[in-house]
Amino acid sequence: MTVRIRVETSAPYDVLVGSGVSDQLASLVGDDVRRVAIVHPTVLRERAARLRSTLLREQATRALDVHLLEVPDGEAAKNAEVLQYCWDVLGRTGFTRSDVVVGFGGGATTDLAGFVAASWLRGVRFVNVSTTVLGMVDAAVGGKTGINTAAGKNLVGAFHEPVGVLCDLDLLVDLPSAELRSGLAEVVKCGFIADPSILELIEGVGTGAVLDPTSAILAELVAKGIRVKAQTVAGDLRETGGGAGPWAARGAGGGAGPWAAKSTGGGAEDDSGIGREALNYGHTLGHAIEREERYTVRHGEAISVGMVYVAELAHRHGLIDADLVQRHRDVLSSLSLPTTWAGAFSPLLAAMRLDKKTRGDQLRFVVLEDLGRTTILAGPDEQTLRDSFAALAAPSSSPGAAR
Ligand SMILES: NC(=O)c1ccc[n+]([C@@H]2O[C@H](COP(=O)([O-])OP(=O)(O)OC[C@H]3O[C@@H](n4cnc5c(N)ncnc54)[C@H](O)[C@@H]3O)[C@@H](O)[C@H]2O)c1
Ligand SMILES: O=C(O)C(=O)C[C@@H](O)[C@H](O)[C@H](O)COP(=O)(O)O
Ligand SMILES: [Zn+2]
């Protein structure tokens, strides 16, 4: 069965989820296209060659050049050097504004490919064919593209939407289970910020089915995650805040300008809706962990820890009760995702200051004010930040062991 989810931004597009949907790439590439660049990681070399053959077969009646741009696996592709390599290939092959970039891989690959498409000739069409759970439920949808710099995660990029997204569930069978779990962290995020039925499903069925790449349960969770992402970005594509979307996120932003914090010194901002920033739940600390650990920690693992952190922070500000904090630990650890962290806080605090939600000197965190309802906590005091971090220590913590 193929599920079609519409992303209703100003240039709407569909996300297709199902077995074998990558065969539909030809229909998204368009008729006036002369060249296609498929950006893929090393691990998908053979599958990318197959994707190319299928595309050429479907378009056999006309001239089409399909170039394979192999990039390093994972986060090692999200840097200026690899970006430059992609630009060089596009230049050499005469890529024009009517040609198409295809991101074929996980979130790291589609973030890079999207930024290649956003920057080449100031913007060419692109399609994502996502191959990881994390990519399907999150990275491939919504048009955030970019790379890392030495200073931090995703610090250079652009909003540039794909013209379509294909989530081929057949591709998940080769995905290492640690990667699958990492992707589920973003699904759990969607459960806490917007759709608690996700949490109920995970809690109700047991992890066997959830972690089985061929299960109907996983397919359902992927579709639910995409719906949250699609509806959230539809209301606030460029993360300017507000736009009380269907998920009723509340907090900062809105009419008073996106960074008009309504309260300082650790207050929950209060306005008409936090819009897209809700999707950053757990990411302030999570991105800092990724950077400090030189990207040896998976994105989903880092944000798993980050979600427990902001749950602790919200609890210390009287926003949520201890049971809801514990629910974070329970659901994430049931998926063998990390909920503890050891190590120094100061470098993480320094990295968090470069988070994109920061305004001036004021750190801003996405927190829950209830299950399924987010707000922004602006400028919490440093002691509370440290106390919440201390709560991440494992019961018998030794440095480096509590992951
Ligand atoms: N743009 C966004 O909105 C957005 C949203 C969430 C995450 N992200 C970004 O996405 C990235 C994480 O994405 P990810 O978890 O997909 O990681 P990833 O792209 O690094 O992929 C994980 C690993 O799995 C390999 N892989 C990919 N597909 C495979 C398959 N089908 N079979 C076997 N191996 C496969 C990759 O080569 C890589 O080594 C991070 O850089 C994160 O910042 C972006
Ligand atoms: O789509 C969004 O918006 C998100 O915040 C989704 C996140 O899961 C994702 O990791 C995103 O790349 C983070 O964006 P950033 O702006 O904090 O770099
Ligand atoms: Zn993320």
Q: What pLDDT does 268 receive?
A: 61
Cα separation, 340 vs 299, whole angstroms? 15
What are the tokens at 254?
A: 């809105």
Percent above pLDDT 90 for the chain = 87
Q: What pLDDT does 31 receive?
A: 81
Cα separation, 374 vs 218, whole angstroms? 25
Instruction: Return the residue whose CA atom lies nearest to atom 30 of ligand 1.
Output: 175
Question: What secondary structure letter does DSSP report for 94?
Answer: T
Instruction: Find out whether the beta carbon of 335 lies less than 6 Å from any atom of ligand 1.
Output: no
More confident residue, 67 or 272: 67
Task: Give the Å distance between the CA of 271 and the centre of ligand 3.
Answer: 24
The ipTM of this complex is 0.99
Instruction: Return the residue whose CA atom lies nearest to atom 23 of ligand 1.
Output: 74
Instruction: Return the residue whose CA atom lies nearest to atom 2 of ligand 2.
Output: 279
What are the tokens at 103?
A: 């991101």
Cα separation, 193 vs 282, whole angstroms? 10
Instruction: Return the residue whose CA atom lies nearest to atom 7 of ligand 1.
Output: 139
Cα separation, 308 vs 313, whole angstroms? 9
Instruction: Return the residue whose CA atom lies nearest to atom 5 of ligand 1.
Output: 139
Please state the atom number of ligand 2 nearest to the C-alpha of residue 153: 18
pLDDT band (50, 70, 90) for residue 259: very low
Stretch 359-369: mean pLDDT, rounded? 97
Please state the atom number of ligand 2 nearest to the C-alpha of residue 280: 5
Instruction: Find out whether the beta carbon of 142 lies less than 6 Å from any atom of ligand 1.
Output: yes
CA distances from 119 to 73, 147, 338, 351 (A): 21, 12, 36, 26
Q: What pLDDT does 401 receive?
A: 42
CA distances from 348 to 1, 21, 291, 342 (A): 44, 40, 9, 11
pLDDT band (50, 70, 90) for residue 2: very high
**392, 309 Cβ separation under 8 angstroms:** yes
Q: Which domains does the chain have, with CATH numbers?
A: 3-175 (3.40.50.1970), 198-390 (1.20.1090.10)
How do residues 204-255 score in pLDDT, each as one tens digit?
998 999 999 999 999 999 999 999 999 999 999 999 986 444 443 333 333 2
Q: What pLDDT does 242 receive?
A: 60
Q: What pLDDT does 74 receive?
A: 97
Stretch 274-281: mean pLDDT, rounded? 97
Strand-pair partners of 362 = 359
Stretch 112-134: mean pLDDT, rounded? 98
pTM across the whole model: 0.94
Question: CA Rg, the chain, in Å?
Answer: 20
More confident residue, 402 or 164: 164
Task: Give the Å distance between the CA of 280 and the centre of ligand 2.
Answer: 6
Task: Give the Å distance between the CA of 257 and the centre of ligand 1.
Answer: 33
Instruction: Find out whether the beta carbon of 357 lies less than 6 Å from any atom of ligand 2.
Output: no
Stretch 99-123: mean pLDDT, rounded? 98
How do residues 4-45 score in pLDDT, each as one tens digit?
999 999 999 999 999 999 999 999 998 889 999 999 999 999
Stretch 251-260: mean pLDDT, rounded? 32
Q: State whether residue 33 is helix, strand or coil.
A: coil
Q: What pLDDT does 338 receive?
A: 98
How do residues 72-99 score in pLDDT, each as one tens digit?
999 999 999 999 999 999 999 999 999 9
Counting beta carbons within 10 angstroms of the beta carbon of residue 111, is it exposed (0 to 12), middle (13 to 18) or buried (19 or more)? Answer: buried
Q: What pLDDT does 247 receive?
A: 41
Which ligand minimizes its atom distance to the CA of 75? Answer: 1
The mean predicted confidence, pLDDT, of the chain is 92
Q: What pLDDT does 267 receive?
A: 66
Percent above pLDDT 70 for the chain = 90
Q: What pLDDT does 241 receive?
A: 86
Q: Percentage helix, strand, coil, to 5, in the chain?
A: 45, 20, 35
Helical (H) or strand (E) element with 111: helix 107-119
Question: Which residue stretches of 251-366 are H helix?
Answer: 283-292, 299-316, 322-334, 346-352
Short-list 8, 32, 241, 41, CA closest to 129: 41
